[in-house]
A and B are shown apart, each in its own frame.
Chain A
């Protein structure tokens, strides 16, 4: 289980997170909802160790991740799909996947497993990543994270700027990972997408977690969305 205990973080002198606590269990999709600038992406970066914590801790199955150097965090099988995909633009599709495969000791069949999840990438292995379409880039970013055979998957706005068919494909992958026991932390702006797949939802505002509710409760009480998001 991934557990965030009152984490606080800053970019230089600008404090962005003032105390966020949440937990994501295996086989559960936990969504972060909040307005732009609420601190959702910073929470993801803080989990990955890319933004240092000034207080609080991030724990995975009892091990404190926030005490580790940033490059050790993914070796605990924490896969990260950053906002805007952040592919290595001048590396080929195959090389981007290789970077993912190098992260942890994974079985030899992982490359095939990942490419079976995203078959269109098989025809593009030698193509430079920045020449892919937006949808293919998102597939590659997700495939690269799945190369870790993650026990925790962090997805930061994975459907941003994608056409509906591609959004559905990404949604199916997320649901599949959930069924395989992966703990998923999802940042998403599209409330309908969140309500259809999430188990838990945490509202974040001004760097604080306001409330954590079940998706079921949110579907029953949509006025909470109005209260926290104004939609």
Chain B
């Protein structure tokens, strides 16, 4: 394949990675932004979402589409509820102290991971995509008689991967509307900016924290449900999304939602392109190098604000 179509193919793979990463990192970013909690267990909520998607899809069983839709609704809800309980039982007890929450969420990581292993076993579990047609993509080149369209062999994407990109965009738009146009979003933003004053205006900060923790975990689970027809569900699959989410959140600016989306796009695309042209390991090295450079030259991230 020529370089142009090859680059387009790599970019599409990168867009799928970016879409999933944006959803997952957004959960981490919201939790840090509102609660100032560094949630080390975030990758395990992602993993739990994927495993529960397999459980729900297997239980429904009737048709792949029905099973997938059920998983998309049920798995994030269950994961969100588990996160709410974890917040009330663990994080509230340590009073959201920054150091203790890191240790507490490390503990939560192992509890979720090992419970999943004991309950569902170590095998990787596939979920069938609701649809998976291969769509050939055209390429244009300037020939002797002007622009010509042709269909390079191998330049294609599946309909499911396109769906993942558009579904992620739709969910992120809905999240943006929730944060900026709804009463719940106003409450979350007020709590983020000054939790003590928020309480002085009737906002139950403890309850807001619980729901935000649930929302963050739910977003990771949505990302996982979308990815599980592409990658299989496995009890150790939470590590990479956690690392990449931290990279994205640090590059975007801790707590900045637009920054998170931009960084997810940059890291996702670079991951896809470098993985296709070189190796996935080089892609991770590149992402880590970008984080190091951001921390040295712009510690607040692309759109983060300097704390005064």
A residues at B contact (CB < 8 Å): 48-50, 69-75, 80, 82, 86-91, 95, 98-100, 102-104, 144
Contact = CB atoms under 8 A, between A and B. Distances in A.
Contact of B200 (A82, A90, A95): A82
B196 interface: yes
Contacts of B196: 50, 86
A74 B189 contact: no
Contact of B194 (A49, A80, A86, A95): A86
B60 interface: no
A70 B202 CA distance: 8
A91 B199 contact: no
A144 B193 contact: no
A71 B189 contact: no
Given A91-B189, A95-B186, A71 B197 contact: no
A71 B190 contact: no
Contacts of B203: 71, 99
B49 to A, nearest CB: 31
Contacts of B194: 86, 88-89
Contact of B193 (A73, A75, A80, A91): A91
Contacts of A95: 186, 189-190
A87 B193 CA distance: 9
Given A88-B193, A91-B193, A102-B183, A70 B200 contact: yes
A74 B200 contact: yes
| Chain B interface, DSSP helix/strand/loop, else mixed | helix
A70 B199 contact: yes
B193 A71 contact: no
A50 to B, nearest CB: 6
Contact of A98 (B186, B199, B200, B202): B186
A75 B204 CA distance: 11
Interface of B: 183, 186-187, 189-190, 193-194, 196-205
B205 A71 contact: yes
B186 A90 contact: no
Contacts of B189: 88, 90-91, 95
B200 A80 contact: yes
A82 B205 CA distance: 18
Contacts of A89: 193-194
Nearest to A70: B199
A66 to B, nearest CB: 14
Nearest to A129: B193
Question: Which 7 pairs, one residue from A and one from B, show the smallest C-beta to C-beta distance?
Answer: A103-B202, A86-B197, A71-B204, A70-B199, A88-B193, A80-B200, A74-B202
Contact of A75 (B183, B190, B202): B202
A48 B196 CA distance: 10
B215 to A, nearest CB: 19
Given A71-B199, A88-B189, A90-B193, 12 more contacts: A48-B200, A71-B202, A71-B203, A82-B197, A86-B194, A88-B198, A89-B193, A99-B187, A100-B201, A102-B186, A103-B202, A104-B202
Contacts of B187: 99, 102
B204 to A, nearest CB: 5
B201 A74 contact: yes
20 contacts: A48-B200, A69-B204, A71-B204, A73-B200, A74-B200, A74-B201, A75-B202, A80-B200, A86-B194, A87-B197, A88-B190, A88-B197, A88-B198, A91-B186, A95-B190, A99-B186, A99-B190, A99-B201, A99-B203, A102-B202
A104 B187 CA distance: 14
Nearest to B193: A88
